[in-house]
Amino acid sequence: MTIWLVFSVVLVASLLLTWVLRRYALSRSLMDIPNGRSSHSVPTPRGGGVAIVLTYLVALVLVALCGWVSWSAAWPLLGAGALIAIVGFLDDHGHIAARWRLLAHFGAAIWALSWMGGLPTVSVIGVELDLGWFGHVLAALYLVWMLNLYNFMDGIDGIASVEAVCACSGACLVYWLTGHQDLMLAPMLLAVAVLGFLYWNFPPARIFMGDAGSGFLGIVIAVLSLQAAWVAPQMLWVWLVLLGVFIVDATFTLVRRLLRGDKVYEAHRSHAYQYASRRVGRHLPVTLAVMAINLFWLLPIAVCIGLGLDGVLGLIVAYVPLVVLAIKFHAGELEYA
């Protein structure tokens, strides 16, 4: 069995399984009904992210059995990803109190970090920092925030899928250019699994990802970034740059709402990408704009970091225009703004 065959099977399996899930959702009336907090106007089947979860986890087990990915690298992804997907699936089909979801989120983070050894050494302005136990706490908060912000940013057609494909493919390019080809397989498998789902989720979406899919992508991508940082510290900065659109929009919006005293756990439509989609009246231009920013702005900076540019400097250069865009598109402002 070749790796290209695995990629082909994963792509087709994700594509077909999403179709099956869409048919199932339609038959059981598992629909996302538009309301005042929605960014869509047409009832749409939900739960398609399960296709990403199943195809990726099965493929990961397969490549681990083949010896192409070590089990020590696979277990953090398998355990944390499966737990978050299960909790998200149950929440998609009912309701789980926020405190129990948060408990599961930290449980998944602790599972992953226990396999990885916590937060690796961080390279800051040329200095290697070992933050000890404080670093492990920061790592847990990072994993939990990443899975939640990915959920927050999955609000218009195709945006979460496009972000995952761009970030994972971009990281693989950096790995290839810097001689870390052994890190490429796990993120490339995820990109391929998401591509199969994206066929159905691309604007106008015929099925939504749901919390099971978005939370899964958030935690898996965050774990992949820490695993890469254990191999080469600058790779953490590479991932933070590649995920800049989501990190800046979600974090800027959260901080603004916190400062205003909003109930941040309540649904809202005040992210920059949501304001942008309402301004243009469609989802497609915003999703394509996110793709363009990833490919033509963030990816070149990430490559430069991989090839020797200081990570902190690269992050600042990458994020400043994103903050300007967040301000321009009213991220975190009251929704009538």
- Across the chain, which has 337 residues, the per-10-residue mean pLDDT values are 89 97 88 67 86 98 95 97 94 82 96 94 82 91 96 94 98 97 97 97 94 96 97 96 98 92 78 94 96 98 96 97 95 73
**Cα distance between the two ends of the chain:** 56
- Going from the C-alpha of 262 to that of each of 164, 255, 267, 278, 335, the distances in angstroms are 29, 10, 11, 22, 12
pLDDT of residue 241: 98
pLDDT of residue 35: 63
pLDDT of residue 337: 45
Whether 115 and 75 have beta carbons less than 8 Å apart is answered as yes
pLDDT of residue 41: 65
pTM of structure? 0.95
User: What does the longest C-alpha to C-alpha distance in the chain come to?
Assistant: 57
- Per-domain residue ranges for the chain? 3-328
Give the C-alpha separation, 16 to 29, whole Å.
20
pLDDT of residue 40: 65
